[in-house]
Structure 1
Amino acid sequence: MRCLSMNQKLNFLIFLAFLSLFTIGCPGGGGGGGGAAFALFGLGGGGGDVPAPKLEIQYNGVSRESGSTLDIGSEPIGTADGKTGTVTIKNSGNAAITLPGSPNIVALSGTDASQFSVTQPATSSLAAGASVTFTLNFKPTLEGAKTATIKIQSSDPAVGSFQLNLTGTGGAAAPRLAVSVGATQIAANGSYGLGSVEIDSSGTAVTFTVRNTGSATANLDGPPAVTATGTQFVLNLAGFPTSIAANATATFAIQFSPTGLAEVKSSNIAVAYDGGLSFLFTVTGTGTPKPVPTIAISHNSSSFTSGGSIPTFGVVWPTLTSSTKTVTISNTGTATMTGITLSKPSGHSGDFTISAFSAGATLAAGASGTFTIQFSPTATGSRAAVVRVATTNGTNGAASSADLNVSGTGKTGADVLVSWTGTNEKAPNDTDGGYKVCYSKNTGFNPADVNGTTIFCTDVPNTGGTTPVSKVISVPTFGDWYFKVYSYGKHNTVGGSPSGQSSVNVPNT
């Protein structure tokens, strides 16, 4: 082995990492037998990757290798917009990268460079992990295959110059439609949202612009040239033409008018042209619940929204009035309730009184009001009537009516037990004679003046072997009543002198 000088030894690099020890021996100077040994343990002190940039080019989300060919496809000649794609320049390394190309970062060249165009990235420097885009456009003026090349210079030591070969085909002139709303372009087979509209209402009509981005006139199929699959999306095609020249436009409108359930609704829209071609997209809208009033009727925490029988007022003396029963009407909906009325359409309507509704004829959403019912019998016995609560829109916007059955009893009398000490005698089985119990609301009355309206008398005759000493009397009204008892016999039918007067108070309950 030839020995190296010291400088040569210092510059000698050995790439044999698989050896743990490598020794080179050289004879000593002056022909001596000595030698020198160099041991190499690894290639550096700390290990790890050195920070470096890395250029990555993507088209339609797919990474492309330098020198590869990108086929843009076919485009009719003479179109206004051409075919456009987006190219991404990304720094996949861990150090900043620069794009020093001048005068353009992206240089376009080649035989048919005039048939292509590129925009320039917004920056010439990318931090680690950052990216920037530029637009590639193919707008042929002549039919046939077209080629060009783009080059991007970078500080990536591995790919200092990135080259992408472009191909495209210029096709025959042809129409091509695009649809937009204002500045918003709708993708083919894409969708456009028309927002939210209340059920049974109509949203604002939205204008759609159809543009012929091709290079030949588009002959629209029709009528109609535009169709929808959803009946809740109303098309307005007034003035829509039968053809659209290259780079010309036409408009139509869609109005979302949802019905039925509150939910997301959709319709497919087709703009058909040239007997088989069409631009397809979908419109969507959300039908939201319509604000409506909803009535709720209650009494003592029980629901009577659908009507029913209010608990009875019980027994009440005619000419008196019962305690009140309170009924609550609530609007549990989301809109104002209107046309609230109270009535007594049937039954003993004169025996029941209802107050005015505290909230009047309308009730705001979430609000409530009350009215009261009282029983004032005009006669004795069972009394009943119907109290009707009605609105013009209380059932989710529709008219409502609920009948409340009310009832009570007009009191016919009160029982009073009258007792006395027997004063007349009779033989067994003797049935003649007995007692008279007379009563009146007038103190000091004379039983001889009995008239059946203000003074009443009831016979309590002797029965075989029994001398009566008490009688239950039913008085027709409440208040103070006065009682007298006298006896009579077979031969003294007028009777003797009455007893002393006694009184009892009959309550009004």
Structure 2
Amino acid sequence: MPRPPVTNFLSDSIGLGGGGGDVPAPKLEIQYNGVSRESGSTLDLGAEPINTADGKTGTVTIKNTGTAAITLPGSPNIVALSGTDASLFTVTQPTSSNLPAGASVTFTLTFKPTTEGAKTATIKIQSSDAAVGSFQLNLTGTGGAAAPRLAVSVGATQIAANGSYGMGSVEIDSSGNAVTFTVRNTGSATANLDGPPAVTASPIGQFVLNLAGFPTSIAANDTATFTIQFSPTGTAEAKSSNIAVAYNSSLSFLFTVTGTATPKPVPTIAISHNSSSFTSGGSIPTFGVVWPTLTSSTKTVTISNTGTATMTGITLSKPSGHTGDFTISAFSGGTTLAAGASGTFTIQFAPSTTGARAAVVRVATTNGTNGTASSADLNVSGTGKTGADVLVSWTGTNEKAVNDTDGGYKVCYSKTSGFTAVHNGTTIFCADVPNSGGTTPVSKVISVPTFGDWYFKVYSYGKYNTIGGSPSAQTSAVNVPST
């Protein structure tokens, strides 16, 4: 009978297939120390001294890398242990026998030899993975002579050999809480210590060991403790030190302690006036010229704490100069200033006399410079005004010989109207305007000693009338401003 055409056969197959596609399936994968192992391969647990309390342990991971759940139907144990030296190996059973796609579970292997020499055993894991229905690993290990072996832990946290332990964050120039480290002899012979635990790498002073009562030897399965405090100094940064517990002349348990030094909260002072910085001191712009007995306008100085801790011991003083001519108000912030806060005080100039006047205003704190005492001197200055110029003019008289070499005018002035023109130097002042070379001026600039209303009279005098003629008409009051 002739064969059907191939094209018809393919067409029938496609019609019966119902659309095709991947079928979900489980996939078993076994890892030891993060490395995938094939069924039938050997795990070497290495050498272990005989009769240790803990033995040598390793972790095995069972993973389902497939797309459907996987079951582990082994009974009574998911992981079955057998073989010549099975009694020297123990298995901590996985906590689940059903793994969804992508899930995993672990169990622990322990090797505790009681005699020296090579030891072997086998573990088997049954699974619903059709490709690996029974997964087998061959175990080997070597029992060695009784020997010490040290391990270090903090509470329930075991520190791996050459591993590290984090001490957290501590402020610069402070000390963290003391952390207790437990040294245990997990071997089967006494560990004779070469010395107490020690820092083996700088910076040594960052981690402080308290070794009070630490023994010179640790018996098998016995413990000893010491503490470490993280006490950072210097710069704020990550810090670490190596710690060694040396024993039996050639052995050592090494680990690293780490910590982060954080900036220490400190106050930082800033001083300003009119948006200019005077944190390091300097000269405040002058108060200018001010009449004695008057007080200038105020100059405001701002003190700020730009740091991260409270600033304390804030004081204001006038240590030198014409201290009585300058007044300073109380600081609005009192004696302390919280981090980020500001306050102000004012300075005024009230000259007690004429001429240049100056003083020093000192701003001090007990901790304003990053935690240490600070002091800044502000130089203040002003001038006590000596007088104000007033131009007095008059019309020349016909007094006989006024324009002679012995003649002239007398300008008298006082703050009292209707005064008698007799110079006394305190309330009435007179100034001569003598003839000079045949020409007698008819004006004079008078410098009055104070501000306010001043009144003026002008007298002429001559060679034949030295007493002077009649005064000029009294000048209306001239107001000399106080500013």
Pairwise same-fold verdict (TM > 0.5): yes
Q: Please provide the CA RMSD for this pair.
A: 1.8
* Aligned-residue offset at 1:426: 7.7
Alpha-carbon distance between aligned partners in 2 of 1:470 and 1:337, rounded to the nearest angstrom? 63
Q: Which residue of 2 aligns with 1:477?
A: 450
Q: Which residue of 1 aligns with 2:243?
A: 269
Contact 1:228–1:235 (CA<8 Å) still a contact in 2? Answer: no
Is 1:233 the counterpart of 2:202? The answer is no
- Relative to structure 1, is the Cα distance of residues 157 and 452 closer, same or farther in structure 2, using a 3 angstrom cutoff? closer
SS of 2:205's equivalent in the other structure is: coil
Percent identity over the alignment is: 86
Alpha-carbon distance between aligned partners in 2 of 1:418 and 1:93, rounded to the nearest angstrom? 114
What whole-Å deviation, never above 9, does each CA across 1:312-368 have from its counterpart, x for those lacking one?
A: 111111111111111111111111111111111111111111111122111121111
| TM-score, normalising length: structure 2 | 0.94
Contact 2:401–2:462 (CA<8 Å) still a contact in 1? Answer: no
* Aligned-residue offset at 1:428: 12
Alpha-carbon distance between aligned partners in 1 of 2:251 and 2:151, rounded to the nearest angstrom? 12
Q: Which residue of 2 aligns with 1:315?
A: 289
Contact 2:400–2:462 (CA<8 Å) still a contact in 1? Answer: no
Q: Which residue of 1 aligns with 2:395?
A: 421
**Superposed counterparts of 1:60-459, under 5 Å:** 60-222=33-195, 224-229=196-201, 230-424=204-398, 430-447=404-421, 449-459=422-432
327-336 or 427-436, which deviates more: 427-436
What whole-Å deviation, never above 9, does each CA across 1:434-472 have from its counterpart, x for those lacking one?
A: 11111112221222x321222111111112232311111
* Aligned-residue offset at 1:93: 2.8
| TM-score, normalising length: structure 1 | 0.89
Q: How many pairs are equivalent?
A: 474
* Aligned-residue offset at 1:282: 0.5
Structure whose CA Rg is larger: 1
SS of 1:471's equivalent in the other structure is: strand
Alpha-carbon distance between aligned partners in 2 of 1:69 and 1:394, rounded to the nearest angstrom? 69
Contact 2:91–2:108 (CA<8 Å) still a contact in 1? Answer: yes
Alpha-carbon distance between aligned partners in 2 of 1:418 and 1:184, rounded to the nearest angstrom? 100
What whole-Å deviation, never above 9, does each CA across 1:357-398 have from its counterpart, x for those lacking one?
A: 122111121111111111111111111111111111111111
424-433 or 224-233, which deviates more: 424-433
Alpha-carbon distance between aligned partners in 2 of 1:158 and 1:359, rounded to the nearest angstrom? 81
Contact 2:399–2:462 (CA<8 Å) still a contact in 1? Answer: no
What whole-Å deviation, never above 9, does each CA across 1:126-161 have from its counterpart, x for those lacking one?
A: 223322221111111111111111112222223222
Alpha-carbon distance between aligned partners in 1 of 2:218 and 2:305, rounded to the nearest angstrom? 56
Contact 2:433–2:440 (CA<8 Å) still a contact in 1? Answer: no
SS of 2:430's equivalent in the other structure is: strand
Alpha-carbon distance between aligned partners in 2 of 1:427 and 1:36, rounded to the nearest angstrom? 165
* Aligned-residue offset at 1:264: 0.9
Q: Which residue of 2 aligns with 1:55?
A: 28
Contact 1:428–1:464 (CA<8 Å) still a contact in 2? Answer: no
Contact 2:402–2:460 (CA<8 Å) still a contact in 1? Answer: no
Alpha-carbon distance between aligned partners in 1 of 2:244 and 2:272, rounded to the nearest angstrom? 54
**Gapped regions of structure 1 (runs ≥ 5):** 1-24, 26-34
Contact 1:462–1:468 (CA<8 Å) still a contact in 2? Answer: yes
Q: Which residue identity lines up with residue 404 of structure 1 in the other structure?
A: L
Q: Which residue of 1 aligns with 2:459?
A: 486
- Relative to structure 1, is the Cα distance of residues 273 and 462 closer, same or farther in structure 2, using a 3 angstrom cutoff? same
- Relative to structure 1, is the Cα distance of residues 48 and 356 closer, same or farther in structure 2, using a 3 angstrom cutoff? closer
Alpha-carbon distance between aligned partners in 2 of 1:465 and 1:480, rounded to the nearest angstrom? 34
Alpha-carbon distance between aligned partners in 1 of 2:245 and 2:352, rounded to the nearest angstrom? 78
Q: Which residue of 2 aligns with 1:21?
A: none
* Aligned-residue offset at 1:427: 8.6
Alpha-carbon distance between aligned partners in 2 of 1:129 and 1:354, rounded to the nearest angstrom? 77
Q: Which residue identity lines up with residue 71 of structure 1 in the other structure?
A: D
Q: Which residue of 1 aligns with 2:10?
A: 41
SS of 1:203's equivalent in the other structure is: coil
What whole-Å deviation, never above 9, does each CA across 1:184-236 have from its counterpart, x for those lacking one?
A: 111111111111111111111100000001111111112x3433432110000
- Relative to structure 1, is the Cα distance of residues 101 and 497 closer, same or farther in structure 2, using a 3 angstrom cutoff? same
Q: Which residue identity lines up with residue 213 of structure 2 in the other structure?
A: G
Alpha-carbon distance between aligned partners in 2 of 1:408 and 1:304, rounded to the nearest angstrom? 19
SS of 1:452's equivalent in the other structure is: coil
Contact 2:237–2:262 (CA<8 Å) still a contact in 1? Answer: yes
